[in-house]
Amino acid sequence: MTSEIQKQETQGDPWTAIDRAFDAVRRRFAESFGILPLGPFELESGLRSPRTDVADTGPSYRVVAEIPGIPKEKLDVRVRGATVEIRGESGTDTEEKEEHYLHRERTYSGYYRVLELPEPVVGTDAKAKVVDGLLELDLPKQNPTPSEEGVKVAVA
């Protein structure tokens, strides 16, 4: 039985539903071999796969990926044809020393995701920015979708 919240989430965004379905398959597969399942959207290497939204705006694709804690200097975004690869890593290593006391702590976060778009984009014209833990990409299409509004023709 599907809850009302799950129905609402999947009706508006089919990609979220697909991501969740793949997570469920991965989890069941791992459990069948006695492996502890990883958290949601976490890959075997310890890297997480960021949740993403992809929108077709007509002349371009707009991709928004959640990458909290990753500064823009630590991001690597590559575009090849219709493939977009997002990679980001961040970590800290702190150490405190006092007499008879030592405290060392390390943190690491990393993201990796490959997206296949429906058609090739122009990577050299792509734009990217990071705002509040979100990576926003604007990827112009090689062959933009014609406007549904049409072109206004001047009447003489």
Full-model pTM = 0.61
Q: Which pairing describes strands 75-80 and 134-140: parallel, antiparallel, or unpaired? A: unpaired
pLDDT at 137 (0 to 100): 94
Neighbouring residues of 78: CB distance < 8 A, sequence distance ≥ 6: 84, 85, 87, 123
Q: Tokens standing for 59?
A: 């002349």
Residues 26 and 60 reside in one and the same domain = no
Residues 29 and 55 reside in one and the same domain = no
Q: Are 15 and 61 contacting, i.e. CB atoms less than 8 angstroms apart?
A: no
For residue 20, the surrounding DSSP H or E stretch is helix 14-32
Alpha-carbon span 87 to 23, nearest angstrom = 20
pLDDT at 122 (0 to 100): 92
pLDDT at 92 (0 to 100): 79
Residues 91 and 24 reside in one and the same domain = no
Q: How many residues are present in the chain? A: 156
pLDDT 10s digits, 68-123: 888 889 899 999 999 999 988 888 788 888 888 788 887 777 888 888 999 999 99
Domain count, the chain: 2
Residues 22 and 93 reside in one and the same domain = no
pLDDT at 79 (0 to 100): 93
Domain holding 62, by residue range, is 46-140
Residues 87 and 107 reside in one and the same domain = yes
For residue 106, give Cα distances in angstroms to 12, 87, 90, 92, 127. 39, 20, 11, 6, 33
- pLDDT over 70 (residue 147): no
The CATH number of the domain holding residue 100 is 2.60.40.790
Nearest to 138 by CA among 79, 88, 89, 87: 79
Residues 52 and 116 reside in one and the same domain = yes
Residues 77 and 34 reside in one and the same domain = no
Residues 127 and 68 reside in one and the same domain = yes
pLDDT 10s digits, 10-63: 455 677 777 777 777 776 776 665 554 444 444 445 567 888 999 999 899 999
